[in-house]
């Protein structure tokens, strides 16, 4: 005889577990005979016990400060006063009927081209909404106003594979498909997922590429899933890699999400620790260090007992330990050493293993470049596919070893991999006399490429026109390099021609001065004067510079004519500089504190003035050498135009920092971004960082450079005066 045996439902067991079941004798009898359901009851009780043990969260003083600040500013905040009404049966039924009716009417009368409301950005949908190599993905796009009225749109994509590295210097863009509208104005199309793609990110644009829907800079993305619908570890890795430099905040979220989805993998946690310290600041790091160390020890205990540990897990534990290695705990350093030894004894060929061995080998080569260069070449030929860092390192080693042939070869490889850096490398090669001609040929090659539309290197968010402006700036820099080299080596006419081309579109005081001097040296007095005037119009030039020019041109130049030329230069500066400005809001409520700990919101520091915010760090070489020693001078130069410089340290105040700043003669007030609020407001992720805000509180020049700050701030002041 067969007896049907049904287990109790979760609801019955839950009610029984918590004493809510009444008079259920049959359930009691069932439990006496069913171990599985008894176990379930025990587990449900344990679940409630764990839930009831969750402790309240610790509130932060900084949060209270922000509350006080918002209250003090009389910020209106209306809290919801009532819960939503629960739907009643007739309401639900009526809603369904209404939806059916409206849908039917809409289907019948939907216009052929639809503006889809007033939203600027559109909606993009994929079916299925995950990546499977070789699979067809159907695409639906409902345009926002940015692309309303177009007949056809282009879906551009950046597909990433498991070997792609952080940032988007080496990744290429491609056209995934063209989308055409159906009768209801919904654009449709499809594409096939390339083999080996684990992550993809998309934007939509019109066919000429002049208008881009980038989903308010967020783009749209797809990840590969495993069989149960969870994004794969590799897909999340590539998602965070793609977000590097685009939004470090989002990258942190992805890294945290990956740790929540893959808590059992040690390689999930090192990036969390590193990123949290970097993004959330030292105080967060202090509070999180204990739990990170506890987790590291557990991973170490668990895996150390195993004879065979996958390479990725070994590297995961080692890199987690390295992230925590500034902790005082000697055990952390011992763990890092132990797992390094095990990695070195390992012979597996995973991508991570190959990359880490490449790094190790590259480190060895650093000590004796001449000896290791041939071996690095062999390594590149055998494993170059996953060693994208190698050409840059090898190029540096070759330069250091004065091996011109190798330097040129590695520069070519690096340029091929990251075309955006090609001009810098070839510019450096110009310093070697034997490579000068080869480098000039290559620089001209880069110019030719820049003058051709290269959609594969155009970021998804960037329109063709914006890219053309960026390319023009790059071309100008290259022409300046070429022209300077030619003039310096006696090819004056050719060099001046290159320098003239370089200066025609950009604003660069040193370039104007350089061309003016070259023209003057060549006897072209009248051609040099307007360029001297352009240079004098730039705020970087001192009154002494004007005086020196007037002295040199004593005869032909009357002071009045000079003043007119400089004024014309000033107008030209405004025109050229503001061509590259944007205008968008930033989180001006973010706070920094002064030396005494007093908090100041960014809006308080930037009321009604043009303000340059700059972030510095004493641990950054460039910041230490090229930024910090000049902060006071920059501040006083800016002050002459009515512009304020706000210098921010991501590091909290300390005696060590004060001593360092005193040693570097920094006397201007320094603000401290202890909680990284200001850093997040500007998406700052490195130093030196410069961001300029105008007198209306709009961010106009994000992530600009020290060389451009004076002219950009002056142009904004001039804009303000001209209003």
Partner 1 sequence: MNTATTPAEKSDAELIERLKAGDKAAIDPLYWRYAPGLLRIASHLTGSFDDAEDVVQDVFVGLERALRRYTEAGNFERWLRRVTIRVALSRLRLSRARGEVDLPPTLASPLPNDADSLPDRMNIETAIAALPNHLREVFVLRELEDYSHTEIGQMLGIRRGTSEVRFFRAIRLLRAQLKKYL
Give contact residues for partner 1 (rule: CB under 8 A). 9-11, 14, 40, 42-44, 46-48, 50-51, 53-61, 63-64, 66-68, 70-72, 75, 77-81, 83-87, 123, 226-231, 257, 260-264, 291, 294-295, 298, 301-302
| Nearest-approach distance from CB 529 to partner 1, in angstroms | 57
Q: Could you tell me if 138 and 126 are in contact, meaning their C-beta atoms sit under 8 angstroms apart? A: yes
| Nearest-approach distance from CB 447 to partner 1, in angstroms | 42
DSSP 140-156: EEE--GGGTT-S-EEEE
What token pair was written down for 291?
Answer: 């739990």
Q: What is the distance between the alpha carbons of residues 346 and 500, in angstroms, rounded to a whole number?
A: 58
| Nearest-approach distance from CB 43 to partner 1, in angstroms | 4
Nearer to partner 1 by Cβ, of 18 and 400: the residue is 18
Distance of alpha carbon 424 from its chain centroid, rounded? 21
What token pair was written down for 615?
Answer: 């972030």
Distance of alpha carbon 420 from its chain centroid, rounded? 16
Nearer to partner 1 by Cβ, of 201 and 356: the residue is 201
Nearer to partner 1 by Cβ, of 112 and 264: the residue is 264
Nearer to partner 1 by Cβ, of 29 and 298: the residue is 298
| Nearest-approach distance from CB 17 to partner 1, in angstroms | 10
Nearer to partner 1 by Cβ, of 68 and 152: the residue is 68
Distance of alpha carbon 300 from its chain centroid, rounded? 32
| Nearest-approach distance from CB 290 to partner 1, in angstroms | 10
| Nearest-approach distance from CB 320 to partner 1, in angstroms | 14
Q: What are phi and psi of 644, to 5 degrees?
A: -100, 140
What is each CA distance from 522 to 465, 482, 546, 623, in whole angstroms? 37, 18, 21, 38
What token pair was written down for 572?
Answer: 């030209």
| Nearest-approach distance from CB 142 to partner 1, in angstroms | 12
Q: What is the distance between the alpha carbons of residues 435 and 480, in angstroms, rounded to a whole number?
A: 18
Nearer to partner 1 by Cβ, of 306 and 544: the residue is 306
Nearer to partner 1 by Cβ, of 15 and 403: the residue is 15
Nearer to partner 1 by Cβ, of 249 and 517: the residue is 249
| Nearest-approach distance from CB 584 to partner 1, in angstroms | 18
Nearer to partner 1 by Cβ, of 85 and 596: the residue is 85
- Residues 205, 209, 215, CA angle at the centre, nearest 5°? 30
| Nearest-approach distance from CB 90 to partner 1, in angstroms | 13
Which candidate, 568, 602, 606, 579, places its Cα nearest to that of 680? 602
Helix/strand number for the chain, H first, E second: 29, 15
Nearer to partner 1 by Cβ, of 46 and 105: the residue is 46
Q: Look up residue 379 and give its DSSP letter.
A: H
Who contacts 266 (Cβ-Cβ below 8 Å, separation ≥6)? 296, 299, 303, 313, 316, 317, 320
| Nearest-approach distance from CB 571 to partner 1, in angstroms | 43
- 691: helix, coil or strand? strand
What token pair was written down for 399?
Answer: 């330069």
- List the end-to-end C-alpha distance of the chain, in Å, as a whole number: 95
Distance of alpha carbon 612 from its chain centroid, rounded? 21
611-615 vs 644-649, strand pairing mode: parallel
| Nearest-approach distance from CB 512 to partner 1, in angstroms | 47
State whether the Cα torsion 212-217-218-223 is positive or negative: positive
What token pair was written down for 464?
Answer: 């063709």
Nearer to partner 1 by Cβ, of 108 and 306: the residue is 306
What is each CA distance from 584 to 380, 588, 595, 696, 699, in whole angstroms? 44, 12, 30, 10, 5
| Nearest-approach distance from CB 653 to partner 1, in angstroms | 18
| Nearest-approach distance from CB 99 to partner 1, in angstroms | 17
Bond preceding residue 179 cis, omega within 30 of 0: no
Q: Could you tell me if 512 and 543 are in contact, meaning their C-beta atoms sit under 8 angstroms apart? A: no
Nearer to partner 1 by Cβ, of 4 and 77: the residue is 77
What are the CB-based long-range contacts (under 8 Å, 24+) for 702-706? 702/582, 706/626, 706/627, 706/630, 706/634
Q: What is the distance between the alpha carbons of residues 718 and 641, in angstroms, rounded to a whole number?
A: 9
| Nearest-approach distance from CB 76 to partner 1, in angstroms | 8
| Nearest-approach distance from CB 57 to partner 1, in angstroms | 4
User: Residue 200: which region, alpha, beta or left (left: phi > 0; alpha: psi -120 to 50)?
Assistant: beta
Nearer to partner 1 by Cβ, of 58 and 559: the residue is 58
Who contacts 253 (Cβ-Cβ below 8 Å, separation ≥6)? none
- What are 136's strand-pairing partners? 192
What token pair was written down for 126?
Answer: 């994929």
Burial class (CB in 10 A: 0-12, 13-18, 19+), 280: middle
Nearer to partner 1 by Cβ, of 85 and 118: the residue is 85
Q: What are phi and psi of 175, to 5 degrees?
A: -85, 120
Nearer to partner 1 by Cβ, of 276 and 377: the residue is 276
């Amino acid at each position: 005889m067969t007896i049907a045996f049904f287990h109790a439902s979760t609801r019955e067991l839950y009610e029984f577990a918590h004493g809510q079941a009444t008079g259920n004798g049959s359930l009691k009898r069932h439990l006496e005979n069913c171990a599985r359901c008894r176990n379930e009851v025990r587990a449900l009780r344990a679940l409630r016990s764990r839930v009831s043990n969750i402790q309240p969260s610790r509130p932060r003083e900084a949060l209270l400060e922000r509350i006080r600040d918002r209250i003090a500013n009389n910020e209106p905040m209306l809290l919801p006063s009532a819960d939503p009404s629960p739907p009643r049966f007739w309401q639900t039924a009526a809603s369904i009927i209404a939806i059916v009716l409206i849908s039917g009417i809409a289907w019948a009368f939907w216009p052929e081209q639809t503006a889809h409301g007033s939203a600027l950005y559109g909606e993009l949908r994929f079916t299925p909404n995950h990546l499977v190599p070789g699979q067809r993905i159907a695409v639906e796009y409902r345009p926002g106003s940015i692309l309303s009225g177009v007949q056809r749109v282009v879906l551009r994509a950046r597909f990433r594979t498991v070997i792609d590295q952080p940032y988007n210097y080496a990744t290429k863009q491609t056209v995934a498909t063209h989308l055409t509208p159906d009768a209801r104005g919904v654009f449709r199309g499809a594409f096939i997922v390339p083999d080996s793609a684990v992550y993809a990110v998309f934007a939509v644009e019109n066919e000429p590429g002049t208008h881009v829907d980038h989903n308010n800079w967020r783009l749209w993305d797809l990840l590969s899933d495993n069989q149960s619908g969870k994004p794969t570890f590799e897909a999340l890795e590539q998602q965070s890699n793609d977000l590097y430099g685009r939004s470090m905040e989002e990258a942190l979220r992805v890294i945290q999400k990956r740790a929540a989805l893959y808590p059992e993998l040690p390689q999930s946690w090192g990036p969390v620790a590193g990123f949290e310290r970097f993004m959330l600041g030292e105080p967060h790091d202090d509070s999180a260090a204990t739990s990170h160390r506890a987790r590291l020890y557990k991973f170490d205990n668990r895996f150390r007992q195993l004879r065979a540990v996958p390479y990725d897990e070994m590297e995961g534990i080692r890199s987690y330990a390295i992230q925590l290695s500034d902790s005082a705990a000697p055990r952390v350093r011992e763990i890092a050493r132990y797992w390094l030894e095990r990695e070195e004894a390992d012979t597996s060929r995973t991508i991570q293993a190959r990359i880490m061995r490449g790094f190790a080998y590259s480190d060895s080569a650093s000590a004796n470049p001449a000896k290791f260069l041939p071996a690095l070449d062999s390594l590149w030929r055998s494993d170059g596919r996953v060693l994208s860092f190698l050409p840059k390192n090898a190029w540096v080693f070759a330069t250091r070893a004065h091996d011109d042939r190798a330097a040129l070869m590695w520069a070519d490889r690096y340029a091929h991999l990251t075309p955006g850096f090609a001009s810098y490398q070839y510019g450096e090669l110009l310093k070697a006399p034997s490579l000068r001609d080869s480098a000039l040929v290559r620089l001209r090659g880069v110019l030719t490429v820049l003058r051709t539309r290269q959609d594969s290197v155009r970021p998804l968010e960037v329109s063709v026109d914006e890219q053309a402006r960026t390319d023009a700036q790059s071309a100008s820099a290259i022409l300046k390099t070429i022209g300077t080299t030619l003039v310096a080596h006696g090819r004056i006419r050719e060099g001046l021609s290159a320098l003239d081309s370089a200066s025609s579109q950009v604003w660069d005081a040193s370039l104007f001065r350089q061309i003016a001097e070259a023209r003057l040296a060549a006897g072209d007095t009248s051609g040099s004067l307007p360029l001297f005037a352009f240079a004098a119009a730039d705020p970087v030039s001192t009154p002494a510079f004007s005086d020196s020019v007037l002295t040199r041109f004593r005869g032909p130049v009357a002071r009045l004519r000079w003043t007119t030329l400089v004024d014309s230069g000033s107008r030209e500066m405004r025109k050229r500089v503001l061509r590259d400005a944007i205008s968008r809001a930033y989180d001006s409520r973010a706070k920094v504190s002064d030396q005494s700990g007093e908090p100041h919101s960014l809006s308080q520091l930037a009321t009604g003035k043009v303000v340059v915010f700059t972030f510095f760090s004493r641990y950054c070489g460039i910041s230490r050498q090229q930024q910090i020693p000049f902060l006071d001078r920059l501040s006083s130069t800016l002050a002459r135009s009515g512009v304020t410089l706000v210098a921010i340290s991501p590091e909290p105040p300390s005696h060590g920092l004060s001593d360092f700043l005193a040693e570097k003669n920094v006397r201007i007030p320094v603000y401290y971004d202890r909680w990284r609020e200001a850093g997040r407001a500007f998406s700052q992720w490195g130093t030196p960082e410069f961001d300029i805000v105008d007198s209306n509180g709009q961010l106009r020049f994000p992530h600009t450079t020290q060389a451009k700050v004076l002219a950009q701030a002056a142009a904004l002041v001039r804009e303000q005066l001209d209003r």
